[in-house]
Amino acid sequence: MDDEKARQQAAEKTRKEEQDRQRDEQKARDQATTKGKKEEQDRQKERDQATAKGRKQGLEEARAQKKQRGGGGGLTILISLIVLVILVVVVAYLTLSVSVTTVAPGNSLPFTTKYGVSFPEGQTITIGNVHINTLSNQGLIITDIDGDKQTMVVGEDRVISERRAVITTLGVITLMDTNFQINLTYKGERDNRAYFDMAVHTSKQVPDYLLSRLLPPEIDARPI
């Protein structure tokens, strides 16, 4: 009877621990989703403010040019043009927008950029439209990618299926349009962070400053 009672207590403890773990994972996913939505809203607000400011200052510069007379008019126009160019560059940067969609696999992806990255355990990270969560378990790492869980050991690879990424600026100008695929190689866990080598394979040569727009700051991506 004592053995049976002990087994029942152990089973109940295991069931409760599993419920607690699932609840913690769901809470982490919900928090990450809420955080992502708020950050996107903040970025959109900054882009709108920058666009409005750029338009206002552009109109003010145009009015100022019309009022210029005499020998100093040429210098004033030059300065105004320089200021306008700077404003356009700033607004273009602030209005960068990334769109990621799923595509059929099998395209040629001849270009590769490698990063060293680390994921905070228990926190859902979004790369494009891919949601990734990691959790260590007795020397192993459980990777949850869009709900598909896989246990990995050090040195093991996992592939994130092919996507298409389009980066635009000013709402209409396309800066990048490429298919990409991500390969993750697990390197180990330290200080509640899971470390990976990340290889990003693309169908076109993409400047690092544009490619890095796909990678959230939470993973601390560093070129290798």
DSSP helix, strand, coil percent of the chain (3-state; round to 5): 45, 35, 20
Alpha-carbon span 198 to 187, nearest angstrom: 10
Q: Which pLDDT score is estimated for 216?
A: 93
Q: Is the dihedral of CA 42, 43, 44, 49 positive or negative?
A: positive
List strands edge to edge, sheet with 125-127: 125-127, 130-137, 140-145, 148-152
Nearest CA among 205, 200, 165, 195 for reference residue 182: 200
And the tokens for 114? 């490698």
Using CB atoms within 10 A of its CB, is residue 89 exposed (0-12), middle (13-18) or buried (19+)?
exposed
DSSP H helices in the chain: 2-67, 73-94, 208-211
End-to-end Cα, the chain, rounded Å: 60
And the tokens for 111? 């270009």
And the tokens for 201? 């394979």
Backbone phi, psi, residue 82, to 5°: -60, -45
Give 10-residue mean pLDDT values along the chain (224 residues): 74 83 82 80 83 80 64 71 81 72 90 97 93 90 95 95 89 86 95 96 91 90 93
Q: Which pLDDT score is estimated for 177?
A: 92
Q: Does this model's pTM top 0.85?
A: no
Q: Which pLDDT score is estimated for 21?
A: 84
Alpha-carbon span 84 to 116, nearest angstrom: 38
Q: Which pLDDT score is estimated for 71?
A: 47
Q: Are the C-beta atoms of 150 and 165 separated by less than 8 Å?
A: no
